[in-house]
Amino acid sequence: MISRGTYLYLPFMMATMFYLCTCGEDSTGTKWIEVEVVKNTTDPHQLPTNWTDLDQFNGNQLCDGDQKGCTRKFAEYIRTVVHKCDSVRSECQTDAQVEGNKMVCWIRQKETQFNLRKRTIFEVQFWTDNRGSHCRYAVY
């Protein structure tokens, strides 16, 4: 038998579960900095990005299957090569700002604030569509 008090929490629990299960984000307002995934081979003096070897991910669907392309390989690349930090969070979610409702690999570095809340201070998105692979980041 379910107690009467449980019914008070049921709508809150259902709303929370719906939010967690939609697994979508909306990066409206984020000031993204685009990163070239493929090196520019026409001008060897042009350095399109300081992210060495990013082109190893070109054409890859990092969020397919077990998503380890995102959650392990790309996350480790960002953590050790690009951003050089102790830890990052990684997950695959859609972003309302990415055309075609594509799954996007999100890498985030969080920082604990004085009130013990975690705040994103750096994040990266990577996805591949019919126009190629895309990568962008934001610093807060």
Report which of 52, 80, 69 is spatially closest to residue 103, judged by C-alpha positions: 69
* Residue 97 included in any domain: yes
Number of folded domains that form the chain:
1
* Residue 104 included in any domain: yes
Higher pLDDT, 36 or 138: 138
* Residue 127 included in any domain: yes
- Tens of pLDDT, residues 59-117: 999 999 999 999 999 999 999 988 889 999 999 999 999 999 899 999 999 999 888 89
- The parent domain of residue 75 ranges over 24-139
* Residue 6 included in any domain: no
How far lies 88's CA from each of 69, 97, 109, in Å?
A: 15, 22, 5
The predicted structure's pLDDT at residue 25: 82
The predicted structure's pLDDT at residue 11: 52
The predicted structure's pLDDT at residue 111: 92
* Residue 2 included in any domain: no
* Residue 44 included in any domain: yes
Separation CA 136–CA 140 (nearest Å): 14
Beta-sheet strand order (sheet of 103-112): 24-25, 89-95, 103-112, 118-129, 132-139, 33-35
* Residue 89 included in any domain: yes
Separation CA 88–CA 107 (nearest Å): 6
The predicted structure's pLDDT at residue 52: 82
* Residue 8 included in any domain: no
User: pTM (2 decimals)?
Assistant: 0.76
- Tens of pLDDT, residues 5-41: 555 554 544 444 444 444 578 988 899 999 988 875 5
The pair of three-digit structure tokens given for residue 62, joined into one six-digit string: 């990092």
